[in-house]
Amino acid sequence: MFRRLNRAASSVASLHPPTTVRRIAAAGTFVAALEALSQHKRFVKGDLLGSQVEACHPRLARHYPRVNRALTSKAFPYAVYGTQAAVSAATFLRPRNRALRIAGGTTLAALQSAQSAFIPFGRDGADQLQHVINVTMASTGLIRDLEKADDLAMRTLALETSLSYVASGVVKAVSPIWLKGDAVAGVMRTRNYGHPGAHQVINRYPAISKALSWGTIAIECGFPLIYVLPKPAARAYLATMSAFHLGIGQFVGLNRFVLAFGATHPAIHYVLSQRRRELTAATRATATLAA
């Protein structure tokens, strides 16, 4: 199992990290846009996927009636999600285009900000991480030296992902339900995020829920260890996190988290590779000085 995880991680690491990040992230925003467009019947004013400008920004609605009419029309969500799908597709097809990196990332970030402001329902942590990716790739694209731009982007995303995992783990670690080991069992029996088959198994074997609850806290809180572990163990750890997200997508239904966090994993592979090169260079420099 360890060898399989390591081989999978190595195959990802062999790809060009910035390109892989942009393609996976673009796939995520494209899928998110299609999911929203598939629910177009709910774009009407006042519905969950319709514009909520009057509820969220009453002053804007009162003082700028024309803007309010535009934002509350059914055409607004069509325009937002349609543009998001188009820009995401272009980014996926041309991930190394610098102009598209800047303009596309900026556009996607602006669209996601508009969604947060005017269509706040139906969003989750995957959207927030996608927003971070778009802002990071667009802003670093302004750096003329492409190698430096990519290096900064990968290190930024690796740091953001590490902080996200640790923050999530700490929140669980102070939760009585998670510490008691009942969190996973509780999720599996809900209507929105549950899985009947998994619930039956966990209900029969409660120890599984405890193992999964405590295991989730451990791997999230301990994620920074990946930067000090030996290379094979670090690659396997990251592959385990990928499997963790795939499992959540399969049993909890949060499929877009697979693409959101999966988009940042190549950045972590990059940092791990750079760490190894830096350590090797430092060792050689020390040996040269000693000689």
- 88 by Cβ neighbours in 10 Å (0-12 / 13-18 / 19+) ranks as buried
pTM of the model: 0.84
CA dist 261 and 266 (Å) reads 10
pLDDT given at position 72 = 80
Give the torsion sign (CA, 185, 189, 191, 196): positive
pLDDT band at 144 (very low <50, low <70, confident <90, very high): very high
Give the torsion sign (CA, 76, 79, 85, 87): negative
Residue-wise pLDDT for 11-28, tens only, equals 554 578 999 999 999 999
Of 70, 156, 62, 157, nearest to 114 by C-alpha is 70
Instruction: Report the pLDDT averaged over residues 274-283.
Output: 66
pLDDT band at 7 (very low <50, low <70, confident <90, very high): low
Residue-wise pLDDT for 180-220, tens only, equals 998 998 888 887 788 888 888 988 988 999 999 999 999 99
* 56-70, 200-214, 254-268: range with lowest mean pLDDT: 56-70
Share of the chain above pLDDT 90, in %: 53
Cα end-to-end distance, the chain, whole Å:
43
Check pLDDT > 50 for residue 281: yes
pLDDT given at position 15 = 74
pLDDT given at position 136 = 96
Of 219, 166, 242, 285, nearest to 10 by C-alpha is 242
CA dist 260 and 165 (Å) reads 13
pLDDT given at position 279 = 61
CA dist 227 and 95 (Å) reads 27
Q: What is the mean pLDDT of the chain?
A: 86
Q: Tokens standing for 258? A: 């697979």
pLDDT band at 108 (very low <50, low <70, confident <90, very high): very high
Q: What ranges in the chain are assigned the alpha helix state H?
A: 2-13, 17-37, 53-56, 58-63, 65-72, 75-93, 98-118, 125-140, 146-173, 176-180, 183-188, 196-204, 206-221, 231-251, 256-290
60 or 4: which leads in pLDDT: 60
Token look-up 């992902």 returns: 161
CA dist 220 and 206 (Å) reads 22
Check pLDDT > 50 for residue 33: yes
